[in-house]
Structure 1
């Protein structure tokens, strides 16, 4: 039996008569076939969904579009509720939004072709108005569907983020993991063992969206990763075979990651705090790639003791720097170079292009100004820490 709207077929309006000629079930089947052959998101759906929910929604669309055409005016808002629900289902299934909207565009094209094919000579003056109404319908339903889809995806992503952060907080706090924590860990392929590795990652010059994509990519290879604005932090299992805790090729081009050594559960809070400090330091240094946290040990000591760092600048850097408009930059450069070559007198002189005796004179002057003897291990360590702040 061909499904028509009998009330429309007997109506006096030319638009109603035109809409009443359409075989609605036939049009729905045309749309369904088009979706399955031309849109990847629909081709992946099982037949039970295609012949069930999808066909039902297509028929609802056909009915609403032709009723709109027949009445010449938009229907009440609640007629769109079924499409909102369907869009949320598609979002939950992971269908891309572009595939969903493409279906509505393809459906509108199919409907218009059938309308034109069903028209008669006396409908010629009616077709422009029919085209306008079909376009109005597509605008309205597309906006409704897109809004519902994005609302559902935002909720889905937010809920997923909440679960990931809950797992990270539980691991870092050393609290017992509940069933929800274990389920989240299983979903990303992370084994919440006793020993885990903390890391922080950043992509210089990129915003939250790029970092969100990077975090998602890491989760896809078993890493617990969450975004913190313009960086990603998280935990991963040790990977001794790869030489680094992060999977090979797991970083986007130009990215930087600071990675600690594996730590026990009760040490993870401090480890994560250290890599957060470490990523800030490494970014200021212009580093890229994977940087072991151990390579930033001196910088971390200074970062964790700002008053000590300020005192070192005052005791070591200031006396060797500008004073009363006169520069002592040669002293600072001399000390820094001498320390960088392992306190080798000849190598330092060659690098500075000065005579070794000139080097000796400058080092004596630096010792007078700072009261630090570079031949003394403690004074040398103090000087190294102070110079670290110039890098």
Structure 2
């Protein structure tokens, strides 16, 4: 038995002996027979194969098998590859990904085909051709490795593209639902959501990460999406950016107001995105209520931020007065303008906001801001001097709070 050298993995495959070429040539007349046998009998043992349409088996798969057999026989005669050798394999892999055939079934079909070809070569070999048979099997397995790589790469690329397209379609539906450009009932039906929903607004803090901003943003969105899938299930749909966004999920029977889901989301998101995560959950009884629910959830988070509430899950009851004061009408611009004299002094605005949030407790305000209590007094006196607001009075306190909230909503 001749000593067959191993194939060069990164160079040209060594030429086959005349005996190996002659053995392979005797199988050329069986190409059509082998293709039909594989497409109609051998592959029937693979999971899900029997559900494929008959024309896919008899035309597409049989043609792919014939292409593989002829490629092998041509390579036996001339071991040099040609551009486009794997093009049909790649095309079929993309089609199978689009049709939803599992990758393991597709790869097993190629491996099974290799086994059938090996059987044909073995049956054709006569006594004394053992060395030639070993050459051909070595050559066959080497080529199979390259084909499997091309098939798997194409399948995964196509699957990733399909997934991205599907997610972008969902994003466009959610965007149209929230901005009113799509009828709510139609958008939710296409999204596969029926019945009452929970609408969540998220605000995710921007952390300083060592990676490039675009990379950090993508990583943050992936982390948030992973948490959403685990807590709300994959039926939930979202419109997210690195700063947060909206999520619409089916209402659970054991969580009619969405508070339990909101609490779990808050806890999990704090673990992966930091302690500054804020969110609000609002229920929507029907499709027509979803856009308003999204606006309400957004406003609850905005008001909670503006009035200095600690991060976490916010409920309407937590900010009931502040929410009311932040509603805009014909008087809103004039109230917001009360703080214009200190609009270019962010340290004064922040001191006023924290002081109101801490119920006029100067020491608590100073501790929160890291200041001396006398500095707090001086800043508040400067606010009163420049704006004319007496925040120690009930009226001045209410006007200052409303002005802060209205400026925050602009």
Please indicate the TM-score interval, normalised by the length of the shorter structure.
0.5 to 0.7
1:18 is matched with which residue: 17, 24, 27?
A: 24
Please state whether the residue corresponding to 2:158 is helix, strand or coil. Answer: helix
Q: Distance in 1 between matches of 2:314 and 2:398?
A: 23
Question: Following TM superposition, by how much is the alpha carbon of 1:78 offset from its aligned partner in structure 2, in angstroms?
Answer: 9.1
From 60, 65, 68, give the equivalent of 1:65: 68
Report the CA distance between 1:242 and its aligned residue: 1.9
Q: Deviations over 1:76-135 (max 9, x none)?
A: 95985477346524543362x4x2564267447746864885656446367557634653
1:318 aligns with 2:345: yes
The more displaced of 133-142 and 19-28 is 19-28
Q: Are the equivalent residues in 2 in contact too, given 1:202–1:231 (CA < 8 A)?
A: yes
Deviation of 1:15 (Å)? 2.6
- Alignment match, 2:190: 184
Superposed, 1:195-206 pairs within 5 Å as 197-201=198-202, 206=219
State the match for 2:4 in structure 1. none
Which of the residues 169, 174, 185 maps onto 1:162? 169
Aligned to 1:374: 391
1:198·1:271 contact (CA, 8 Å) conserved in 2? yes
Mapping of residues 1-391 of structure 1, within 5 Å: 14-15=20-21, 17-18=23-24, 20=26, 24=34, 28=38, 43=47, 45=48, 47-49=50-52, 62-72=65-75, 77=84, 81=88, 84-85=91-92, 87-93=94-100, 95=102, 97=103, 99-100=104-105, 102-103=107-108, 106-107=111-112, 110=115, 114=119, 121-122=128-129, 124=131, 127-128=134-135, 131-132=138-139, 134-136=141-143, 138-140=145-147, 142-144=149-151, 146-147=153-154, 150-151=157-158, 154-155=161-162, 158-159=165-166, 161-162=168-169, 165-166=172-173, 169-170=176-177, 173=180, 176=183, 181=187, 183-185=189-191, 188-191=192-195, 197-201=198-202, 206-211=219-224, 213=226, 220=233, 222-228=235-241, 231-236=244-249, 241-242=254-255, 244-245=257-258, 248=261, 249=264, 253=269, 254=272, 256=277, 258-262=279-283, 268-269=290-291, 271-273=293-295, 275=297, 290-292=313-315, 312=339, 314-315=341-342, 318=345, 339-343=356-360, 367-368=384-385, 370-384=387-401
> What CA distance in whole angstroms lies between the structure 2 residues aligned with 1:362 and 1:48?
76
Consecutive unaligned residues of structure 2, counting only runs of 5 or more, are: 1-17, 206-215
- Deviation string for 1:170-198 (max 9, x for gaps)? 575286567x646425xx3422x6xx553
Q: Counterparts of 2:182 and 2:19 in 1: how far apart (Å)?
A: 71
Alpha carbons 1:197, 1:261 under 8 Å: kept = yes
Cα distance in 1, alignment partners of residues 179 and 385 from structure 2:
48
Describe the SS at the equivalent of 2:248. strand
Distance verdict in 2 for CA 1:365–1:199, change over 3 Å: closer
CA distance in 2 between counterparts of 1:177 and 1:349 reads 48
Change beyond 3 A, Cα 1:300–1:108: farther
Measure the CA separation in 2 of the matches of 1:317 and 1:376.
25
Question: Per-residue CA shift, 1:214-254, capped at 9, x if unaligned?
Answer: 66667746534344566452434555842643773567553
For residues 368 and 308 of structure 1, the distance between their equivalents in structure 2, rounded to whole angstroms, comes to 17
1:268–1:372 distance in 2 versus 1, CA, 3 Å: same
Distance change in 2, residues 1:167/1:113 (3 Å): same
Give the number of aligned pairs.
353
SS of structure 1 residue aligned to 2:389? coil
- Tell me: CA distance 1:100–1:287, structure 2 relative to 1, closer, same or farther (3 Å): farther
My pick for the range that moved more, 19-28 or 161-170, is 19-28
Deviations 1:147-190 (A, max 9, x none): 25643663465256426633662575286567x646425xx342
- Bigger relative contact order, structure 1 or 2, given CA contacts below 8 A and separation 6+? 2
* CA distance in 2 between partners of 1:142 and 1:19 (Å): 27
**Cα distance 1:114–1:182, how it changes in 2: closer, same or farther (>3 A)?**
same
Aligned-partner Cα distance in 2 for 1:347–1:208: 36
Q: 1:373–1:380: 8 Å Cα contact kept in structure 2?
A: yes
TM-superposed deviation, 1:337? 6.7
Deviation at 1:138, TM superposition (A): 4.4
TM-score after normalising by structure 2: 0.56
